[in-house]
Amino acid sequence: MAWARGRIPLVIEIKGDPEVSPGIEEKLIDLVHQHRILDEVIVISFHHTAVKRAKELEPGLATGILYSGRLVDTTGAARAARADSVRPQWSYWTRELVDEVHAAGLTASAWVVNSEARAEQLVNMGIDSIGSDYPDRLCTYLERAGRRWPAAR
């Protein structure tokens, strides 16, 4: 965290069940404050209760819900977790869902995108950020395509 401060935004995933590791959210928030990176980090998790707890502990923290599958109410799930972003696996995105997420004031993010064709499809849908196993390749592609990608929160 110390090295990243002022250099790159961090996406920190709370892995595992927070019930098994009680207090993980508090420890993470303490580290974020200690390193003074609140405006440079987003906390994400498949465990939406962990996202909600982190946001309750630090309302200024950017957060996102991860999921793999189709949710009945995507924006409702994000609101329930007090999340700022929705982050499903890439194949669940449609232009309609991107529009719905944006209309709710949320950020749309996709993972794991490792091909230029898939990245282009998502960018054309209006996706805000993309996670990749090959960020260098993704950045090269976006630059070559004339896309300016902002640091996502």
Mean pLDDT of successive 10-residue stretches along the chain, which has 153 residues: 93 88 94 98 97 98 97 98 98 98 98 94 94 91 75 47
Q: Are 15 and 43 in contact (CB under 8 A)?
A: no
pTM of the shown model: 0.91
Pairwise CA distance, residues 52 & 123, whole Å: 28
Which domains are seen in the chain, by residue range? Answer: 10-144 (3.20.20.190)
Res 147: pLDDT: 73
Residue 51 pLDDT: 98
pLDDT at 153: 46
The closest alpha carbon to 78, from 63, 92, 93, belongs to 63
Q: Are 84 and 107 in contact (CB under 8 A)?
A: yes
Specify the pLDDT at position 4.
93
For residue 150, what pLDDT is reported?
55
What is the predicted pLDDT for the residue at 48?
97
Note the pLDDT of residue 152: 46
Cβ of 36: how many Cβ atoms within 10 Å? 12
